[in-house]
Structure 1
Amino acid sequence: MPGVLLGEEFPNFEADTTSGRIKFHDFLGDSWGILFSHPKDFTPVCTTELARAAKLSDEFKKRGVKMIALSIDSVEDHNSWSKDVMAYANEADSPLPYPIIADDKRELSVLLGMLDPDERNKDGLPLTARCVFVIGPDKKLKLSILYPATTGRNFDEILRVIDSLQLTAQKKVATPVDWKPGEKVMVIPSLPDSEATALFPNGVTTKEMPSGKKYLRYTKI
């Protein structure tokens, strides 16, 4: 099945967008990137999602993340619909702060495994699902999430995940369940205690477990 696996290089595709034609790797440059798809322009859930993404664009920018959306509609439709999106975001006088890819031939949707077989247009053709791809500065896929067309995403969660990805790319730690920036993180199991003590000046605490195994090690970054 077409698609990209974690750790693989993301395709360096060319596409028409609301900001002109792009080559994806050139668009990203040295930045992190997020590519998120939606089923169709001028539809209710998609409008709420892209408006929320627009409201959070400064948060993505703070993290050095370039945003780009995608659906099977044309550039013309994207440009027209963008006005509705920004009106929903209560920013009617502002342009959409990120480009939208026009995949009207479904070439990228097929290549990236983004089509939802259960949601189809009036001609019976499948629509794009709600995919999220986070790509690192090395152009490799760091995270993918696939939602059905009927379920809107939580962009606050996507920001939280990016915070985790960027932290764990730099430090030998992992983030526990429901982690938020500023909270304790977990020392990776492969790191010996002696190294952990040297790497984490704020100290390492270990939670005792019935097994006696000392694998739950926490530190503050």
Structure 2
Amino acid sequence: MSTLRLGDTAPDFTQDSTAGPIQFHQWAGDSWVVLFSHPADFTPVCTTELGKTAALSGEFAKRNVKPIAVSVDPLDSHGKWVLDINETQNTTVNFPILADADKKVATLYDMIHPNASATATVRSVFIIDPKKVIRTTLTYPASTGRNFDEILRVIDSLQLTDSHKVATPANWKDGDDVVIVPALQDPAEIAQRFPKGYKAVRPYLRLTPQPNR
């Protein structure tokens, strides 16, 4: 399987999970999806990551995002681990964890990197839009826990730039000024889209207040 790239269709699959069998595209429906892999159950960094995902359930929901985790551990291990996550992280895991013991999903999404581990999935993240298009990929080493604030920030940027002709600058977060895309040059359309006006630092660098605020 070749490496998936931005703009590719996220591969469909059917796999068991802690929420029962999941046919991925059907389960995703018209939501955004954060599909993320973890190396193994009952490991410290993974436990904090899944606990954080559960704690952010409201933030994901208000963005129409469904999180779903995957590792190559079997379903019975996942079930026992969920209880441990809930207890140690003071939360309730309320999203599916795929049991990928046959490595079907890990293979489809190229989540096993032999130079890192021949058997465990790396910390991959796929942000997938409602059209099942892969919009972002992130890969972390096993020793580094993911920054879920950054994952939410990327989703905010993607959703904003899909609906308005803007891009988001370095370190942007929701509420900050954004950049009018260079391709937009018609003054009438600019005035209509950005009634608060803009500051032209350079002809190609035009900053404007976030238009959906």
Normalised by the shorter chain, which TM-score bucket? over 0.9
Q: Give the corresponding residue for 2:154.
A: 161
Aligned-pair distance for 1:193?
4.7
- Give 3-state SS (helix, strand or coil) of 1:133's partner: strand
Q: Give the corresponding residue for 1:70.
A: 70
Relative to the length of structure 1, the TM-score reads 0.91
For the pair 1:35 / 2:28, whether they are aligned, the reply is no
**What is the alpha-carbon distance in structure 2 between the residues aligned to residue 39 and residue 119 of structure 1?**
11
Pick which of 98-107 and 191-200 moved more: 191-200
Runs of 4+ in 1 over 2 A off after TM superposition: 116-120
Which of 173, 197, 202 does residue 180 from structure 1 map onto?
A: 173
Q: Give the corresponding residue for 2:49.
A: 49
Aligned-pair distance for 1:147?
0.9
Unaligned residue ranges in structure 2 (runs of 5+): none
Q: Give the corresponding residue for 1:83.
A: 83
Q: Give the corresponding residue for 1:103.
A: 100
1:2–1:110 contact (8 Å) kept in structure 2: no
**What is the alpha-carbon distance in structure 2 between the residues aligned to residue 167 and residue 16 of structure 1?**
34
The alignment yields a C-alpha RMSD, in angstroms, of 1.3
Unaligned residue ranges in structure 1 (runs of 5+): 209-213
Q: Give the corresponding residue for 1:217.
A: 206
- Counterpart of 1:16, as a letter, is D
For the pair 1:200 / 2:189, whether they are aligned, the reply is no
**What is the alpha-carbon distance in structure 1 between the residues aligned to residue 128 and residue 108 of structure 2?**
16
1:134–1:142 contact (8 Å) kept in structure 2: yes
1:54–1:89 contact (8 Å) kept in structure 2: no
For the pair 1:112 / 2:93, whether they are aligned, the reply is no
Matched residues, percent identical?
49
1:81-109 CA distances to partner (integer Å, 9 max, x unpaired)?
01111112213xx4x11000011111211
1:31–1:65 contact (8 Å) kept in structure 2: yes
1:37–1:71 contact (8 Å) kept in structure 2: yes
Aligned positions, number: 209
Q: Give the corresponding residue for 1:211.
A: none
